[in-house]
Amino acid sequence: MIKWLDPLFVSESAERDIKRTVRRIKHRRGLLDIYVLVLPTNIEDQLDILHANYLLQPWYQHRELTIVGIAKGKREAVDLVVRMVDEAQKRIGVPNLKLYLRWLLSGEGGG
């Protein structure tokens, strides 16, 4: 089952087709050059960056995932993570992405 952060973090290039991209992910359709940022499957990690097509694999279909961002291309995905860390520093005072995302998902972040 896939959950979504609202609002999502979205890279500039991915913003143009975000509705279509989200729809394709929800309906398990393939996508070219789209990466998703998800809460980590390993508790020691801050975030996972996956090609969107990985979500089509059976292993991911039976896991609870929370998508927090979408980017077009691996480079933009990394840049988006940097932007998220900068925003965490500004909004909660520490560059801890995991803590920041937990804060946003709790509803305290106010979107």
- The 10s digit of each residue's pLDDT in 46-98 is 999 999 999 999 988 888 999 999 999 999 999 999 999 999 999 999 999 99
Between CA 93 and CA 88 the distance in angstroms is 7
Tell me how many degrees the CA angle 55-62-109 measures, rounded to the nearest 5: 70
Buried b (16+ CB within 10 A) or exposed e, 27-58: eeeebeebbbbbbeeeeeebbeebebbebeee
Q: 15 vs 61, which has greater pLDDT? A: 15
**Torsions phi, psi of 110, nearest 5?**
70, 15
Between CA 7 and CA 5 the distance in angstroms is 6
Which H/E stretch holds residue 31?
none
User: pTM for the full model?
Assistant: 0.92
